[in-house]
């Protein structure tokens, strides 16, 4: 009986250390999606544009004109993935803002609920994690598991 208890004590910490980073990434992605949904709702309810600014170097984001900056958990990366193929002014604005400063990206929500669009990976710097997508036409935010080949 004592041998079984000792075996459990030896095996549980490594198993927990594998699961915890994955859960941190999932919670961070869900929190980001929730913040984006709130920003979209604000844009619609106030009939104005609302910007969400991402600081890729520090791994943080903030809804402009609000003081609460959200930082990702330690060891998590925020990677903006360019989405090509949209021929609209909103996509040009989003691409321009990313090229202007490689460490910052601005997502814009419009009064009609649409957005400039976003595809971002939240997870360990080496890959994996979760993908947060904001549809440019309807502005909806969704979260899905990142496949192994997504940077």
Which tens digit of pLDDT belongs to each residue from 97-144?
444 567 888 999 999 999 999 999 999 988 889 999 999 999 999 999
d(CA 133, CA 26): 14
Q: What is the pLDDT of residue 3?
A: 65
- In this predicted structure, the answer to whether residue 151 has a pLDDT above a threshold of 60 is no
d(CA 116, CA 114): 7
Q: What is the pLDDT of residues 1-35, one digit of tens each?
A: 666 666 566 665 554 444 455 799 999 999 999 99
Percentage, residues of the chain above pLDDT 90: 56
d(CA 56, CA 28): 14
Cα 139-145-150 angle, rounded to 5 deg:
90
């Amino acid at each position: 009986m004592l041998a079984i208890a000792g075996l459990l004590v030896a095996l549980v910490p490594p198993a927990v250390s594998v699961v915890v980073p994955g859960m941190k990434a999932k919670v961070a992605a869900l929190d980001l999606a929730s913040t984006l949904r709130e920003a979209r709702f604000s844009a619609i309810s106030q009939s104005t544009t609302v910007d969400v600014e991402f600081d890729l170097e520090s791994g943080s984001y903030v809804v402009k004109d609000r003081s609460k900056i959200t930082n990702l958990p330690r060891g998590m990366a925020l990677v903006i993935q360019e989405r090509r193929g949209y021929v609209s002014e909103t996509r040009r604005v989003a691409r321009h803002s990313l090229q202007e400063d490689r460490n910052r990206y601005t997502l814009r929500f419009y009064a009609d609920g649409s957005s400039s669009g976003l595809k971002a990976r939240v997870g360990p710097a080496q890959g994996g994690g979760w993908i947060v997508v904001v549809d440019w036409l309807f502005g909806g935010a969704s979260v899905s598991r990142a496949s192994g080949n997504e940077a």
